[in-house]
Chain A
Amino acid sequence: DAGITQSPRHKVTETGTPVTLRCHQTENHRYMYWYRQDPGHGLRLIHYSYGVKDTDKGEVSDGYSVSRSKTEDFLLTLESATSSQTSVYFCAIRTGPKDTEAFFGQGTRLTVV
């Protein structure tokens, strides 16, 4: 178990409100990722991080920001939530002997009403 937890696990929020999702890991892995998953689209990369204060955009980064001020925490923020951001959000880290294998958190189910 790579020791990765996401919080909250479920959230309902109103359109226009800010939302922050947290991903916490306990083993000092360098890489951390945020994905969203919607029916028919698979896993789509939002943002990722290589280390503290080192982040980059993925393919669907519009409307999202991230921060990584500590190795163990990677925060995903929706500045002003929209209904199109209703989704399941997965955090992942890279582990394994060559730091190539992804290990996922249990996901956060976000509903924007």
Chain B
Amino acid sequence: RKEVEQDPGPFNVPEGATVAFNCTYSNSASQSFFWYRQDCRKEPKLLMSVYSSGNEDGRFTAQLNRASQYISLLIRDSKLSDSATYLCVPDTGRRALTFGSGTRLQVQP
């Protein structure tokens, strides 16, 4: 099983929609989790950190389900500018950082 798995998408949604995608992880020792946003041909940038059961920042909510070993990202009221690839990475406490391959979101007018 891969260390981190994400549905590659693309998720095509209209403006204003709510969209959610999941990231599953295999290492149950993972304590904290991170969502990154990557625009085309740019470097990934930190979107949200999750150190407990979840986190909320404006239109973005991350929820952690430790029993099923996945973390979700919910985006409400989608904007055109939300179009990007979203990467997740669990922090397992090891030195290496392994990213998921990302979920592509395309918000359409």
Contacts and interface: CB of A to CB of B under 8 A. Distances in A.
Interface of A: 31, 33, 35, 40-43, 45, 48, 50, 56, 58-59, 88, 90, 92, 94, 96, 98, 100-107
B24 to A, nearest CB: 14
12 contacts: A31-B95, A41-B101, A42-B87, A42-B99, A50-B95, A56-B96, A58-B96, A90-B43, A100-B49, A101-B46, A106-B42, A107-B43
B93 to A, nearest CB: 9
B32 A48 contact: no
Interface in B71-99: 87, 89, 91, 95-99
Main SS of the interface on chain A?
Answer: strand
Nearest to A103: B46
Given A42-B102, A43-B87, A102 B43 contact: no
When A and B form their complex, which 4 residue pairs have the shortest distance between CB atoms, in order from nearest?
A42-B101, A104-B43, A43-B99, A100-B91
- Give the contact-size bracket for chain B: 20 to 34
Given A101-B46, A105-B43, 5 more contacts: A43-B99, A48-B97, A50-B95, A102-B44, A104-B45
Interface in B7-48: 32, 34, 36, 41-46
A100 B32 contact: yes
A35 B49 CA distance: 21
A102 B34 contact: yes
Contacts, number: 54
A22 to B, nearest CB: 16
Given A42-B87, A42-B102, A43-B87, A102 B46 contact: yes
Contacts of B97: 33, 45, 48, 92, 94, 102
Contacts of A58: 96
Contacts of B36: 102
A42 B45 CA distance: 14
Given A42-B100, A104-B44, A96 B49 contact: yes
Contact of A56 (B34, B43, B95, B99): B95
A101 B45 contact: no
